[in-house]
């Protein structure tokens, strides 16, 4: 099939809605792209967030089209946005559906592009929302101000507030802003990043109780919090960490959220070098990118998890981390 087939109804069976799937911990680009597509495409669409959304994206996702956070399969056609791999959309399972699969993504192509019946995968776009906006324009579809606002939000977010926007993203953004003119105050609200008090408490605890490890000039911080793991990982970066690991014990399992600073981007692949061995040792599964990911381990032995993480980093960086006194 061709992407433009989506502008006609016959690319999928009419009695099932089109399922649009965003990546785990969906961000503004993922949720914005999904809502924008749902808005523009003819017929019924539903947006599934397989592993929730970031705080900001959750506000954007407070939209009637985001109907179902728990389903892991689609009966009809599936469109994946802002995710290159099946791991990135876990626990959603695209292989369980029988309908066509379409992918819109601006990450390096992975297994989803190969499985897709049609794909718009282009790393030169600053945001998946840019690819969606270009498709909507090319296909002659129209957006409501709500859909335009969602796509504009994705573009602004994924280009770091336009700091890294190439001309292409700006070109897609300008008409969206015009179409969303009556809701631009909402755009401002969506970018209000003031943390809630519970987030401040979580990150404060995370920083105050973290354990630091050092090898040469590389610093690793490992901590535990009950919530706001991503914000806590970034707080550890703020404290100087090159690698930030946040553990959360929950229901007999341990969630591991990891982030690797750009300084180590070429040296550490979080998913391959750390999460893979952790999952082998303790059992569990997760997903992510080289520099950001999450996995859930079938253990609550936090000390053993911590030790294994340090082991993995010793091995990967061919060094010996020692705990800071």
Q: Is 242 in the site for Mn ion (CB under 5 A)?
A: no
Whether residue 91 has a cis bond before it, omega within 30° of 0: yes
Q: Is 29 in the site for Mn ion (CB under 5 A)?
A: yes
Shortest reach from residue 155's CB to Mn ion, in Å:
10
Question: Which window, 5-13, 27-35, 117-125, 245-253, contacts Mn ion (CB under 5 A)?
Answer: 27-35
Distance of CA 203 to the CA centre of its chain: 20
Closer residue to Mn ion in complex, CB, 19/128: 128
Closer residue to Mn ion in complex, CB, 158/242: 158
End-to-end alpha-carbon separation of the chain, Å? 60
Per DSSP, 164 falls in state T
What is d(CA 1, CA 320) in angstroms, rounded to the nearest whole number? 52
Shortest reach from residue 126's CB to Mn ion, in Å:
8
Residue 2, number of CB atoms within 10 A of its CB: 9
Closer residue to Mn ion in complex, CB, 158/224: 158
DSSP states of 223-245 as a string? EE-SS-HHHHHHHHHHTT-SEEE
Question: Which window, 47-55, 126-134, 198-206, 280-288, contacts Mn ion (CB under 5 A)?
Answer: 126-134
What is d(CA 20, CA 43) in angstroms, rounded to the nearest whole number? 13
Closer residue to Mn ion in complex, CB, 82/120: 82
Residue 196, number of CB atoms within 10 A of its CB: 11
Closer residue to Mn ion in complex, CB, 51/82: 82
Closer residue to Mn ion in complex, CB, 111/323: 111
Q: Is 39 in the site for Mn ion (CB under 5 A)?
A: no
Question: Which window, 23-31, 169-177, 229-237, 278-286, contacts Mn ion (CB under 5 A)?
Answer: 23-31
106 and 128 Cβ atoms separated by less than 8 Å: yes
Binding positions for Mn ion, 147-166, rule CB under 5 A: 158
Residues, the chain = 325
Q: Is 105 in the site for Mn ion (CB under 5 A)?
A: no
DSSP states of 46-89 as a string? EEE-BTBB-HHHHHHT-STT--BSS----SS-EEEES--STGGG
Closer residue to Mn ion in complex, CB, 29/134: 29
CA distances for 272 relative to 82, 257, 263, 278, 316, angstroms: 21, 14, 18, 10, 10
Shortest reach from residue 289's CB to Mn ion, in Å:
11
Shortest reach from residue 106's CB to Mn ion, in Å:
6
Shortest reach from residue 228's CB to Mn ion, in Å:
22
Closer residue to Mn ion in complex, CB, 29/169: 29
Site size toward Mn ion, by CB under 5 A: 4
Q: Is 82 in the site for Mn ion (CB under 5 A)?
A: yes
Shortest reach from residue 187's CB to Mn ion, in Å:
17
What is d(CA 304, CA 273) in angstroms, rounded to the nearest whole number? 17
Residues near Mn ion (CB under 5 A) are: 29, 82, 128, 158
């Amino acid at each position: 099939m061709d992407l433009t087939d989506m502008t006609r109804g016959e690319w999928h069976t009419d009695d099932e809605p089109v399922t649009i799937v965003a990546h785990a911990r969906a961000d503004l680009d993922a949720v914005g792209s999904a809502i924008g597509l749902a808005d523009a495409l003819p017929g019924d669409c539903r947006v599934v967030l397989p592993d929730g959304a970031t705080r900001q994206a959750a506000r954007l996702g407070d939209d009637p089209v985001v109907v179902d956070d728990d389903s892991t399969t689609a009966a009809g056609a599936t469109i994946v946005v802002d995710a290159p791999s099946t791991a990135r959309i876990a626990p959603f399972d695209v292989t369980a559906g029988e309908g066509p699969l379409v992918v819109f993504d601006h990450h390096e192509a992975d297994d989803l592009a190969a499985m897709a019946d049609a794909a718009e995968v282009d790393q030169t776009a600053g945001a998946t929302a840019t690819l969606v906006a270009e498709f909507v324009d090319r296909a002659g579809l129209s957006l409501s101000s709500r859909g335009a606002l969602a796509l504009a939000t994705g573009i602004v977010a994924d280009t770091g507030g336009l700091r890294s926007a190439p001309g292409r993203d700006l070109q897609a953004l300008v008409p969206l802003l015009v179409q969303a003119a009556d809701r631009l105050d909402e755009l401002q609200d969506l970018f209000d990043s003031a943390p809630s008090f519970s987030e401040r408490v979580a990150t404060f605890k995370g920083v105050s109780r973290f354990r630091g490890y050092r090898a040469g000039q590389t610093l690793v911080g490992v901590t535990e919090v009950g919530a706001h793991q991503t914000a806590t990982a970034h707080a550890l970066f703020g404290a100087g960490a090159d690698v930030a690991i946040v553990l959360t014990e929950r229901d007999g399992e341990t969630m591991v959220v990891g982030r690797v600073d750009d300084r180590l981007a070429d040296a550490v692949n979080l998913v391959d070098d750390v999460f893979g061995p952790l999952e082998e040792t303790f059992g569990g599964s997760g997903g992510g990118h080289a520099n950001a990911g999450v996995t859930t381990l079938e253990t609550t032995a936090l000390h053993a998890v911590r030790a294994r993480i340090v082991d993995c980093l010793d091995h990967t960086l061919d060094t010996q981390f020692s705990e800071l006194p």
